[in-house]
Amino acid sequence: MMGKLDMNLNKVIVLEEHQFFQSERKEAFENKWLVGWGYPDNAQWGYYTNFHIGAEWLDKNTPIIVVPKMESIDFLKMFLHCMFADDTDSFSEIYNIDYKGRPIKSQVLTSVLSQLIVVSFVQIIRKITRKGLLKQYVSRSENLSNVRGKINMTVNDRVNVRQARFNKVYCQYNEFTVDNPANSLLKRALLFCKMMLQTIVNIKNDSYLLAMSEVNRLLTSFNNVSDTANLSATVKTNKLYKEYEEALTLAKKILRHYDNSISNVSERYEEVPPFWIDMSLLYEHYVLSLLKEAYGKHILYQKEGEHKVRPDFLYCDNEECYILDTKYMPYLGKPGEQISVDVARQLSGYSRDNKIRKILGISNDNSLHRSVPCVVIYPFLSNQIENNSFVGKRIKDIIVEEPYYYDFYKIGVPVPSLNQS
């Protein structure tokens, strides 16, 4: 188990999610991503980890790493599901990476971070290739058989006239092309992503094959683009291609992290920049991808009710309506564990929200006493190969009644595991 001061990791403190750290309050530990002061579940006051995993510096000399309670999670599969389902540009809210921060030496979570970087970059490139690559005017100099643009008299005299090569003329011209510095930088970063996947993924499972297939598919859009990117060059983009600025920024960060050398991918594998991943939000987006796959337009995500409340999901068809909310609480799958009073109050509030009821098509005039069933979705780790548990099933057939509250139910949706067999 994690949670001890591991002297073999250069005094890196390795903890799990929701774990007590220390009771002495320190100014240096305030406003951190991974730990916060509090007393969860009426425990003692102190610093605790939260829903975030990742790495950061608590002070100048003390790095901390927080790992998931559930071991062997197939993060690549979760990231890919989120990427393919995300049409709200909210995937970037799941994580944060401080590329400028001082790296932390660690063999923990390096693979997870690298997979996240790859998927984040691939997601942006997917958006770009849907629109088509940006074309720009690029200055060319070439020895041609026919005049194009203008003749460079000085160079032409040296390479052609003095050599009695009268069938050639050295020209300078501008070409409107996809083979420009912006696309060259993106292609090189995409090639880095491919190399990163080949280096960091130890288990070449279906998730790895899907990721590699998507990277290779995107690379075909860059067939006519060179990969001789210059990181110091100023790259201009078109305002109509807003994704380019984000993509170029991330591409430079990827290439600079590895010193623009593919051979450094393995060498830089054992250190990470400060970063965090919100496991609660990651699980929420993963479940969203499964629900969308199963129920399509019948699933509404983060619809706003009165007072700006937002249940995770609303489901409604001609026969049934549900309010569904993910709770990153694996313990809910244990025998005898019940939904907490706070969670019950939260979902009950959603079910009585007039704006949300209207979205679900429930009229208060003729359904005054009609309640909306509330469903809590919780995670568990399964070593069995799990297909989408929603596909081909109605929600009423897979929910489990919560005995302590009226019209409350639970569904366990497994987190994908690297140990699936």
Taking a C-beta distance cutoff of 8 angstroms, is the pair 169, 144 a contact?
yes
Q: How many CB atoms lie within 10 A of CB 31?
A: 7
pLDDT at position 1: 38
What element of type H or E holds 13?
strand 12-16
pLDDT surpassing 80 at residue 115: yes
Q: Is there a domain that residue 400 lies in?
A: yes
338 lies in the same domain as 388: yes
What element of type H or E holds 200?
helix 181-200
Q: Is there a domain that residue 74 lies in?
A: no
pLDDT, tens digit, 9 for 90 and up, residues 306-360: 888 999 999 998 888 999 999 999 888 888 888 999 999 999 999 999 999 999 9
Q: How confident is the model at residue 9 (pLDDT cuts 50, 70, 90)?
A: very low
Taking a C-beta distance cutoff of 8 angstroms, is the pair 3, 14 a contact?
yes
265 lies in the same domain as 187: yes
pLDDT at position 324: 97
d(CA 287, CA 407): 21
Domain that holds residue 240: 106-133+180-273
**3 state SS of 278:** strand
287 lies in the same domain as 330: yes
237 lies in the same domain as 156: no
pLDDT surpassing 90 at residue 232: no
Domain tally for the chain? 4
Q: Is there a domain that residue 395 lies in?
A: yes
Q: Is there a domain that residue 234 lies in?
A: yes
Q: How confident is the model at residue 185 (pLDDT cuts 50, 70, 90)?
A: very high
110 lies in the same domain as 184: yes
pLDDT, tens digit, 9 for 90 and up, residues 25-70: 888 888 999 999 988 876 789 999 999 999 999 988 889 999 998 8
d(CA 172, CA 216): 34
199 lies in the same domain as 121: yes
189 lies in the same domain as 241: yes
Sheet holding 150-151, edge to edge: 136-144, 169-177, 150-151
* Alpha helices (H) in 268-305, listed in sequence order: 279-295
Stretch 238-259: mean pLDDT: 82
230 lies in the same domain as 294: no
Residue where one domain finishes, among candidates 242, 273, 304: 273
Cα(first)–Cα(last) distance of the chain, in Å? 24
Report the share of the chain in percent with pLDDT over 70: 89
DSSP string for residues in 27-59:
GGGTT-SSEEEE-GGG--SEEEE-SEEEEEESS
Residue where one domain finishes, among candidates 273, 298, 317: 273
Q: How confident is the model at residue 264 (pLDDT cuts 50, 70, 90)?
A: low
Q: Is there a domain that residue 347 lies in?
A: yes
Q: Is there a domain that residue 377 lies in?
A: yes
pLDDT surpassing 50 at residue 300: yes
Of 178, 175, 183, the C-alpha closest to 227 is 183
pLDDT, tens digit, 9 for 90 and up, residues 88-105: 567 888 999 998 899 998
CATH code of the domain in which 304 resides: 3.40.1350
Stretch 181-186: mean pLDDT: 92
Q: Which residue has the higher pLDDT, 16 or 231?
A: 16
CA Rg, the chain, in Å?
27
d(CA 255, CA 259): 6
Q: Which residue has the higher pLDDT, 218 or 364?
A: 218
pLDDT surpassing 90 at residue 201: no
195 lies in the same domain as 239: yes
pLDDT at position 6: 40
**3 state SS of 147:** coil
Taking a C-beta distance cutoff of 8 angstroms, is the pair 200, 269 a contact?
yes
Taking a C-beta distance cutoff of 8 angstroms, is the pair 379, 415 a contact?
yes
pLDDT at position 108: 81
118 lies in the same domain as 148: no
262 lies in the same domain as 115: yes
Q: Is there a domain that residue 215 lies in?
A: yes
266 lies in the same domain as 379: no
Residue where one domain finishes, among candidates 209, 240, 273: 273
pLDDT surpassing 70 at residue 259: no
d(CA 38, CA 41): 10
Of 271, 291, 290, 314, the C-alpha closest to 111 is 271
Phi, psi of 237 (to 5 degrees): -125, 170
Q: Is there a domain that residue 73 lies in?
A: no
What element of type H or E holds 186?
helix 181-200
pLDDT at position 4: 40
What element of type H or E holds 210?
helix 206-219
DSSP label at 141? E
